[in-house]
Amino acid sequence: MAGEQDENTPRRQAIHAQIDENLKRVYALAAAEELPDRFKDLLAQLKARDAAIKGGDS
């Protein structure tokens, strides 16, 4: 099939490699960002609630 052959052309492979690199770069930047304060506050509330529940079980 022509569609399958098109996927293996050097140009197509180069495009896929560039997309892959761009996605990795964007993911790395997003992963390096600090959590917003709102999420930090929510996590603190959840941890406090979890500690209170576990403390009540003993």
Please give the sequence-ordered ranges of beta strands (E in DSSP) within 1-58, or none if there are none.
Answer: none
Domain range spanning residue 39? 2-57
pTM above 0.75, yes or no: no
Q: DSSP class of residue 40?
A: H
Token pair belonging to 12: 């197509």
Q: What is the dihedral of CA 20, 21, 24, 28, to 10 degrees?
A: -170
- Percent of all residues in the chain with a pLDDT value above 70, rounded to a whole number: 84
d(CA 54, CA 58): 7
Instruction: Return mean pLDDT, the chain.
Output: 89
- How many domains in the chain? 1
pLDDT computed for residue 1 by the predictor: 46
- Model confidence pLDDT, tens digit, residues 41-55: 999 999 999 999 988
d(CA 55, CA 36): 29
